[in-house]
Amino acid sequence: MRIACVGGGPAGLYFAVLAKQTDPRHEIDVYERNRPDDTFGFGVVFSDNTMGFLSEQDRRSYPEITDASMRWDPFTVMHGGKVMRCGGVGFSAIGRKKLLEILQRQASELGVRLHFEQPVDGQEALAGHDLVVASDGVNSGLRERLAEHLEPTVEVGPTRFTWLGTTKGFDSLTFFFERSEHGVFGAHIYPYLPDRSTFIVETDDATWRRAGMDGFSEEDTISYCERLFAGRLEGHRLLSNRSLWAPFRTLTCRRWYHGNLVLIGDAAHTAHFSVGSGTKMAMEDALALSQSLERFRPDVGAALAAYQEERKPRVEHIQRMAATSLDWWANFRHYVDLPAEQFAFHFLTRSQFRYDTLRPRDPGFLAQVEAASSLGDVRERVVELSDPIPVSDEGRVTPADRGLADWAGRGVGAILTHAGPRGATMPRECGLDRPLREGAWLLLSASAVAYAPGGQVPREATRADMERVCLDFAAAAAEAARLGFPLLQLDCAQGGLLASFISPLTNLRADQYGGTPENRLRFPLEVLDAVRAAWPADRRLLVAFSATDWASGGLSVPDAFGAARAFRDHGADLVTVLGGQTVWGSTPAYVPCHQMLIAGKIRNEAGVPVVAQGGIADPDDLKTVLLSGRADYCVLDVVR
């Protein structure tokens, strides 16, 4: 085939090497707008998993790349005057210039034609080629010319970063954080030579603006950062190479190919550098594309479809992890006052790691974290709530026929809930989802759809209905107190009436309560006030709410902060953070500890005591959540 690669970075060069190696008959041209020795950035980093993958798949380039790389194992967090190291998290790094030299030489030796200082502005200049590989980076001109077919989108991140280098040779992947009069800055350091390290500085947008960095030259940035990190640099200098401040842009494309043009590397996708994935993904793209072409030749269309099918889900998985990590970097100013051991664990568990995945890597690190913790036995931080209790067909629960006093005597907490729209319209079909009093489920939601043949047609609740709900919940709370329940949770989550008022996706038509988040909270807070007044002051009252709808246009993190603070201010001792399916069409992420991160945000950023619930299944999950400082208590998901 005649193949043109537009862009001579690691993606395009590595693909050219692999494709030519697979079939020497291919005629391959690489077009690069810069000179052969131009390079931007400093070192590039690969995880051990990536190096292992390349070693299995590539016997030519891998050994030479390995020989020129610097490998280290521990992951270092310097914080609070302490140096925390976690082993078993191996990485390798190589200078970007050295990597390009290796690939350029290998490509030339194989017969690939390299054209430097030769930009290609449009696909028409490549007519006659069987395949055009767009490896021209995040600002790909070829991609933008086919934007209507490839459908790229770019999300601009909330942080600002600058890519620097330093003459100080650190001994591992290292992170540290410093305050200035303007805010908090973090540094990512990747050593790639004994006397050279990549040194990325990142901060939130507000701090960047307070420091006046929107007008900084490279010299201004070097001067500011050398002063800020003087204690860590120990007299060494920072280096620049087009080191301007910028927000990170996350690129996604709905399609990665059109006709005979295909995207690879940063032209197709980007992921925040804190997961060390840019060059890794580019080289894995190149490998997958070369293998797909060999497998399906001469059918280029089938090869490109198979390439996208294989790589796109894997890249999207990395992008999800990177988005979580980027969110941490946007908010790390809220966590820097945590003790050093807890901060290091909090940092490591921001994305792909949990207690159980770190234990086989470095049990000594985890022992340090646990020894420094003031939590004691984390099992004492479990909130136990009762199982659902069947009720009568009429929706009533009474001590006489359901044995609630026995449950109270077991030391478990009680939940006050409401059947919500489904229970309101199907009172006989929802056997386990019942409130404690008949009045609550008879009040109907704002939905205009009947949920079952012969069911009640919902209507919007009137003000009299709302007052009746408050009285019913207060009476139920007083009954729970009389029975001896030690704690009570008011359920404002997952489809009940109160959750329907909180979520912006339920289209409530009550003018006095719809619209803004503040208005939507008014009725749930009225119910909470009534329950708080009826519940003993010396017993804990929790409010459970869905902190996210997992749906576009639903509850946002600021909404969750506002709701949590309002519940606290109206007498809730703790909020229980849930995140199940609250509206039709939502897609909850049911993974281990799936509400841990947003619970941690509410606790550390909104300043509200939190109970985390959702995907917390065993002591390892408990330790992940509690030792990282993301919750005060947890509810275990236990299958009985």
What local confidence, expressed as pLDDT, does residue 459 receive? 56
| CA–CA–CA angle 507, 511, 516 (5° rounding) | 70
8 A C-beta contact, residue 275 and residue 323: no
User: Do the bridges between strand 540-546 and strand 487-492 make them parallel or antiparallel, or are there none, so unpaired?
Assistant: parallel
> b or e along 268-285 (b: 16 or more beta carbons within 10 Å of the residue's beta carbon)?
bbbbbbbbbbbbbbbbbb
The two three-digit tokens of residue 584, written as one number = 């039709």
pLDDT-wise least confident of 176-180, 586-590, 607-611: 586-590
Per-residue pLDDT band at 550 (split at 50, 70, 90): confident
Convert the pLDDT of each residue in 79-99 to its tens digit. Answer: 999 999 999 988 889 999 999
CB count, 10 Å around CB of 568?
A: 18
| Residue 539 DSSP symbol | S
The two three-digit tokens of residue 214, written as one number = 């929107």
pTM exceeds 0.85 for this model: yes
8 A C-beta contact, residue 187 and residue 164: no
What local confidence, expressed as pLDDT, does residue 51 receive? 76
Q: Measuring CA to CA, which residue among 470, 397, 478, 477 is closest to residue 440?
A: 470
Per-residue pLDDT band at 453 (split at 50, 70, 90): very low
Of 209 and 39, the structure prediction assigns the larger pLDDT to 209
> C-alpha distances in angstroms, 403 versus 266, 388, 407, 414, 490?
63, 13, 7, 13, 21
Determine the Cα–Cα distance for residues 143 and 554; give it in Å rounded to an integer.
32
Tell me the residue type at 55: S
Q: Is the pLDDT of residue 323 over 60?
A: yes
What local confidence, expressed as pLDDT, does residue 451 receive? 34
Q: Measuring CA to CA, which residue among 89, 114, 153, 155 is closest to residue 13?
A: 114
Determine the Cα–Cα distance for residues 154 and 422; give it in Å rounded to an integer.
39
User: Do the bridges between strand 82-86 and strand 75-79 make them parallel or antiparallel, or are there none, so unpaired?
Assistant: antiparallel
8 A C-beta contact, residue 456 and residue 425: yes
8 A C-beta contact, residue 622 and residue 616: yes
Convert the pLDDT of each residue in 138-155 to its tens digit. Answer: 999 999 999 999 999 999
Convert the pLDDT of each residue in 163-210 to its tens digit. Answer: 999 999 999 999 999 999 999 999 999 999 999 999 999 999 999 999
Of 430 and 613, the structure prediction assigns the larger pLDDT to 613
Determine the distance from the C-alpha atom of residue 82 to the mean position of all C-alpha atoms in its chain, rounded to a whole number.
27
| CA–CA–CA angle 59, 63, 65 (5° rounding) | 120
Q: Is the pLDDT of residue 397 over 90?
A: no
The dihedral formed by the CA atoms of 289, 292, 296 and 300, expressed in degrees to the nearest 10: -20
What local confidence, expressed as pLDDT, does residue 446 receive? 26
pLDDT-wise least confident of 223-227, 337-341, 405-409, 463-467: 405-409
What is the rounded average pLDDT for all residues in the chain?
86
37 Cβ partners below 8 Å, 6+ apart?
97
CB count, 10 Å around CB of 426?
A: 17
What local confidence, expressed as pLDDT, does residue 609 receive? 97
Three-class SS state of 494 = coil
User: Do the bridges between strand 487-492 and strand 574-578 make them parallel or antiparallel, or are there none, so unpaired?
Assistant: unpaired
What local confidence, expressed as pLDDT, does residue 443 receive? 27
> C-alpha distances in angstroms, 393 versus 169, 396, 397, 428, 432?
73, 8, 10, 6, 10
> C-alpha distances in angstroms, 127 versus 4, 30, 122, 134, 257?
10, 15, 10, 14, 17
